[in-house]
Amino acid sequence: MKHRENFKKWLQESPVDHGVTDDLDRKAVEGFQYLDEGSSLDESMERLDQRFESLLDEQPLTSVDTEKKAQAVVRPLMRQRRWMGVAAAILLLVLPTLYFLNKPANSAQLFANHFETPRSPYLLTSRGEADQNMPDLTSAFTLYEQGDHEQALPAIRELITKYPQQEDLTYYAGVSALASEMPEDAIALFKQAQQTQYQKVDEKSAYFLGLSYLKLGDLEQASQWLKKAESGVYGEKAKNLAKELE
């Protein structure tokens, strides 16, 4: 508990007196002024220690191997379920077909069926030297990959001006905005992203503009953007969704 003991010393005196100039340590020390009256670091940490031990007991740590094994089990089940889903879909078409063909598409439902957040490359691959000094990039895309888009969106937006060479950041910000139920913001971001061909972001954005307008219920705009997207990387997805909109 060497780190905690050093920290207690800092709390008693200014961290600068102990040669600590780390800004993050200073911020943590500042936080302790907000302890409840009569409370102490030791008492709080004792409670946290107990809660931490309970957490470890309840929640086993997941390693990379554990997750791969879990996914390996899930994949055959998903394949089986997919075939069952196909069979069910055929039945649905054969039965009251005329009624379903005449019913207008429910745009919210269509959106929910087709919207998926794409994986970002920022955690999957290394892009060389530049990544080593971009911890904020990693942090933002960790939130993105976790599906925590309400937190990811402001974090990614902050990166757009900071890393202008990463021209796909506006696109991923748009995805987070759409995932956060903010289609108007998403539209603005995807339209900006249309201005670059970096990582085919212009093609991808066209498809997501279609989805964004679908979310808003503007089927005409949605169809127009999906038409544009048909010649791009998400062409198949765009065609399938466009068909359902007809």
d(CA 131, CA 42): 38
CB of 32 to other proteins, least distance (A): 6
Of residues 7 and 213, the one with the C-beta less far from other proteins: 7
Residue with tokens 């030791």: 42
Q: What are phi and psi of 46, to 5 degrees?
A: -65, -45
Q: How far is CA 93 from the centre of its chain?
A: 35
Q: Please report, as ranges, the residues that interact with other proteins according to CB under 8 A.
A: 1, 3-4, 7, 24-25, 27-36, 39, 41, 44-45, 47-49, 51-52, 55-56, 59-67, 123, 126, 131-136, 138-140, 142-143, 145-146, 150-151, 153-155, 157-158, 160-161
**What number of residues does the chain have?**
246
Q: What tokens does 189 get? A: 């971001």
Q: What tokens does 131 get? A: 């990544």
Of residues 42 and 236, the one with the C-beta less far from other proteins: 42
CB of 84 to other proteins, least distance (A): 30
d(CA 218, CA 111): 12
Of residues 42 and 244, the one with the C-beta less far from other proteins: 42
Of residues 185 and 202, the one with the C-beta less far from other proteins: 185
Of residues 172 and 225, the one with the C-beta less far from other proteins: 172
d(CA 241, CA 246): 9
CB of 199 to other proteins, least distance (A): 18
d(CA 181, CA 155): 17
Of residues 102 and 125, the one with the C-beta less far from other proteins: 125
CB of 74 to other proteins, least distance (A): 16
CB of 209 to other proteins, least distance (A): 20
Of residues 4 and 79, the one with the C-beta less far from other proteins: 4
d(CA 128, CA 95): 56
Alpha helix segments (H runs only) across 135-181: 135-146, 149-162, 169-179
CB of 190 to other proteins, least distance (A): 16
134 in Cβ contact with 154 (< 8 Å): no
Classify the C-alpha dihedral 142-144-145-146 as positive or negative. Answer: positive
CB of 82 to other proteins, least distance (A): 25
Nearest to 190 by CA among 199, 203, 180, 217: 203
